Structure 1
Amino acid sequence: MPEGHTLHRLARLHTKRYGRRPVSVSSPQGRFSAAVVDGRVLRRAEAFGKHLFHVYGPDAIVHVHLGLYGTFTEQPLPTTLPVGQVRMRMVGETHWTDLRGPTRCEVLNVAEQRELLSRLGPDPLRRNADPSVAYARITRSKLPVAALLMEQKVLAGVGNVYRAELLFRHGVNPMLPGRDLGDVLWKDMWADLVDLMRAGVRKGRIDTVRDEHLPRVTGRAPRVDRHGGEVYVYRRTDLPCLVCGTPVRKTELAARNLYWCPTCQA
């Protein structure tokens, strides 16, 4: 499932390509009420956590949640528009965009959008995000901090990669109860998370390895993985930790794979 930085990149891209201009919107698949927004001016696109919003007006906001299988296809015009299972198609002056396989694609009004957002925790990529809200929710729980960081009602936009890498970078045992996470440590983790996710928006991939542990410094081979980016523990099961050499461990927590170093995160 795409993490928050991907949705923020999409919001920037769609605002650039379609913003402040009329957009032709259709649903070749017939499973989305495209006629409500077809031909209207897209005011802006914005993201909150893993949710993308195309704002056409207070009465018409297209809400997209990609889920595990949703993808956007972006192409310049002119071209022959493809056929297939397309949930939403946008055609502008210079580009077209197809959305396939999302978990959600629906039209909301402002009140409905606010209700949805009220169920989410702060998004580190939003400038008005309040880290104390997430901390309060974390420290009220006995659950492992690794599980809480994946709860969108606690923290919006963080997925499996950022979760694993953030805990490693701060030497936090994934099974530490949320109520035992210190305030100073959380403030450091939040600041680091903001920096990492902003870098993800700029680069379009997740890089979490500090300069001194990069391949060009250590002489190791660069990471080869469809997710891209240099990471410490994510999907590095049984490989040596880049810091201490201990084999990276993997287990399942809340139906998701969890990666950590048993030495650096003792």
Structure 2
Amino acid sequence: MPEGHTLHRLARSHQRKFAGHPVTVSSPQGRFAAEASAVDGRVLVKAHAHGKHLFHVYAPDAIVHVHLGLIGTFTEQLLPESVPVGQVRMRMIGATHVTDLRGPNICELITEDRMDAIRARLGPDPLRRDAKPERAWARIHKSKLPIARLLMEQDVIAGVGNVYRAELLFRHRIPPMLPGNQLDRAVWTDMWTDLVALMRDGVRKGRIDTVAPEHTPKAMGRAPRVDRHGGEVYVYRRAGMPCFLCGTPVAMADLAGRNLYWCPVDQAG
């Protein structure tokens, strides 16, 4: 599932290419046809994201809410548009670009009140200027659940997925099973600051890189990582491979239905 930086990157792209002008909206697949017709020809006022949720705000009173889920994708092309290929749930045609949405978990037309309700259920988003990290800390500080699980709860922190979870814990040498209420406040403050920087870097690059300069492939004389998720990481999807710091094989276990990766030595606590 795409992590928060991907949705913010999409929001910025849609804002740049479609906002401020009337947008032709359709549903070649047909499943979003009635909703698409309600906003077809309207001006896209703003595209923004909160966690893994994307919102297209149309004047004067309609919002398209998208959650990509596991397989949802946007593809883009310059005008003129081509014939839609595959199951295109929503097509947007602007002044210069066309974008097609396929396979989303959610694609719905909502009101501003409904958008506010969705956002109210989500935790602070490290990529939003209005984020309040103290809300996340309040949830973490009173919970006995493992910090590795809390970081993945979207009502605690919005936008963090398996990659950022694993890498953030490694970078701060946090045992993944540490209960949230045992996490030090100063450590949490450092983690939040680091998370903001990492995710902003992800928006700029379109990939997740978490290793320090001394641990890059060039610095270590190793081959670049080859993985469909891209990016240079310390532990994510490196189970059984040597830790870059201590050489210990990276461990993996299931936690709440998701694979958890960590170094048994550097994250021993």
The bucket for the TM-score relative to the shorter chain is over 0.9
1:186 & 1:58 partners in 2: Cα distance? 41
CA contact (8 A) 1:120 1:156 kept: yes
2:148 & 2:156 partners in 1: Cα distance? 12
Counterpart check, 1:223 vs 2:225: yes
Alignment-derived partner of residue 31 in structure 2: 31
Alignment-derived partner of residue 118 in structure 1: 120
Q: 1:65 aligns with which of 64, 67, 72?
A: 67
Map of 1:37-56 to 2, 5 A cutoff?
Answer: 37-56=39-58
2:164 & 2:85 partners in 1: Cα distance? 35
2:187 & 2:109 partners in 1: Cα distance? 40
Q: By how many angstroms is 1:58 displaced?
A: 5.3
Counterpart check, 1:104 vs 2:106: yes
Alignment-derived partner of residue 16 in structure 2: 16
Deviations 1:129-183 (A, max 9, x none): 1111001001111110000000000000000000000000000000000111110
2:112 & 2:81 partners in 1: Cα distance? 35
Deviations 1:78-129 (A, max 9, x none): 2422232111000111111110010000011111111111100000001121
Alignment-derived partner of residue 90 in structure 2: 88
CA contact (8 A) 2:28 2:84 kept: no
Q: By how many angstroms is 1:77 displaced?
A: 1.0
Q: When the two structures are superposed, what TM-score results if normalisation uses the length of structure 2?
A: 0.97
Query: Structure 2: which 5+ runs fail to align?
Result: none
Map of 1:1-266 to 2, 5 A cutoff?
Answer: 1-32=1-32, 33-57=35-59, 59-266=61-268
Q: By how many angstroms is 1:205 displaced?
A: 0.3
Give identity over the alignment, percent.
Answer: 70
Q: By how many angstroms is 1:6 displaced?
A: 0.4
Deviations 1:212-257 (A, max 9, x none): 1111111111111111110000000100001110000000001000
What's the secondary structure of 2:197's corresponding residue? helix
Q: Which amino acid aligns with 1:29?
A: Q
CA contact (8 A) 2:127 2:196 kept: yes
1:151 & 1:102 partners in 2: Cα distance? 20
CA contact (8 A) 1:58 1:110 kept: no
Query: Structure 1: which 5+ runs fail to align?
Result: none
* Alignment RMSD: 0.8
Q: When the two structures are superposed, what TM-score results if normalisation uses the length of structure 1?
A: 0.98
Q: By how many angstroms is 1:59 displaced?
A: 2.2
CA contact (8 A) 1:19 1:42 kept: yes
Q: Which amino acid aligns with 1:213?
A: H
1:264 & 1:58 partners in 2: Cα distance? 53
Q: Which amino acid aligns with 2:20?
A: R
Q: Which amino acid aligns with 2:177?
A: M
Distance 1:253 1:77, change over 3 A: same
CA contact (8 A) 2:72 2:102 kept: yes
1:216 & 1:98 partners in 2: Cα distance? 38
Q: Which amino acid aligns with 1:148?
A: L
